[in-house]
Amino acid sequence: MSQTYERWIKWRNDALANPKLQRFLASFPLTRPVANAKARQTFGIVSGFVSSQIMQACIELDLLELLRPAPLSAEAIAARCDLPVDATLTLLKAASAINLLETLRDGRFALGGDGAAMLGNPGIAEMIMHHRALYLDLADPVALLRRGGGGGTLANFWTYGGDDQAIAERYSTLMAASQPMIAGQVLDAYTLRGHPRLLDIGGGEGAFLAEVAVRWPQLDLTLFDLPMVAARAGERLGTKARVVGGSFIDDPLPEGADIITLIRVLHDHDDGVAQALLNKVYNALPPRGTLLIAEPMAQTPGARAMGHGYFGMYLLAMGSGRPRTPDELKSMLAKAGFSSVRLISTRTPLTCRVIIATR
């Protein structure tokens, strides 16, 4: 079976790489739409960086906000952004071509559909600006691969456990900005009714717990994170939650919760650390206690480029962790001792999937 499949791959690839066949597929009426769709897909990959940078220019120049109230002419936009008019026009047309803006018949520019959707989610703009660090590391992808990951700008951005307050503040602010699009999905996917005590490990500045407190005010909440991050969470959460500073690698976990959450935590860590954390969580839970894992996962149907594509390279640049498939997480959970493990559906699996495990 596998040899037959390999022979088929070889035959298919020889055919697709043949320029004569390519010309035929593009000119024959029945195959032309397929050939064009493939060409568009390939061009999307080839030009992806340019589209990202068009988007970055729009965010950095605050163009989307500028056009939120009403359309403007290129001249007015150029004056507001302090750019030459011709260059501004190039950017405005480029941003219209990828639907961030829209060119009106009278030549002015309005906010486009995708641009408006981005305004509704400020976390996206923060992520786009943060991509400067990722793209610096990816400017030479082979060098990054040869050094086995890390060692660049992103590794300095995510320095867990260091004593630099500014670093903790930078990554915690970024995480808090993107947390609303995660918290809503998690809390819609899984009801916390019936759980008296929740512990959020690696809870960052407390953005997730702040949302939990709104929806489930009777829940007793504890956040655990590295001391410098926990201090920020304490300021944000006030009396809404108990905040404990420590490392899940070296310190014991706070006791007493019947549900523990790991939101966008596991994928940051290599297998050894991630498995040790799951074992620790298992031991900290009472019998029938629950673990909720929420993070983007590899091999997500319809979003495969997000998992091993985006997060694979992102975490490589960061120098720690890897995206995991639900099955990989399930087998790690079984190894930790969890008896029942299930993947539950979320609204936008591209940004977050949820696994519920019971001790």
Ligand X SMILES: C[S@@+](CC[C@H](N)C(=O)[O-])C[C@H]1O[C@@H](n2cnc3c(N)ncnc32)[C@H](O)[C@@H]1O
Q: Give contact residues for ligand X (rule: CB under 6 A).
A: 160-161, 172, 175, 179, 182, 202-204, 207-208, 225-226, 229, 247-249, 263-265, 268
Minimal distance, residue 44 CB to ligand X, in Å = 28
Q: Minimum distance from CB of 137 to ligand X (Å)?
A: 17
CB of 277 to ligand X, least distance (A): 8
Residue in the shown chain whose Cβ atom is closest to ligand X: 202
User: Quick one: 94 or 198, whose CB is closer to ligand X?
Assistant: 198
Give min distance, CB of 268 to ligand X, in A: 5
89 or 249: CB nearest ligand X: 249
Contact 289, 306 (CB under 8 A): no
Tell which phi-psi region holds residue 38, choosing left (phi > 0), alpha (psi between -120 and 50) or beta. Answer: alpha
* 72 DSSP 8-state letter: B
CB of 228 to ligand X, least distance (A): 8
Cβ proximity to ligand X, 13 vs 247, nearer residue: 247
Looking at 82-121, list the stretches that DSSP marks H as alpha helix, in order from N- to C-terminal side.
85-97, 113-119
**Residue length of the chain:** 359
Type and span of the H or E element at 4: helix 2-16
3-state secondary structure 298-314: CCCCCCHHHHHHHHHHH
Burial 49-80 (b: 16+ CB within 10 A, else e): eeeeebbbbbbebebbebbeeebbbbeebbee
Query: Toward ligand X, which CB reaches closer, 58 or 176?
Result: 176
User: Judged by CB, which is closer to ligand X: 108, or 264?
Assistant: 264
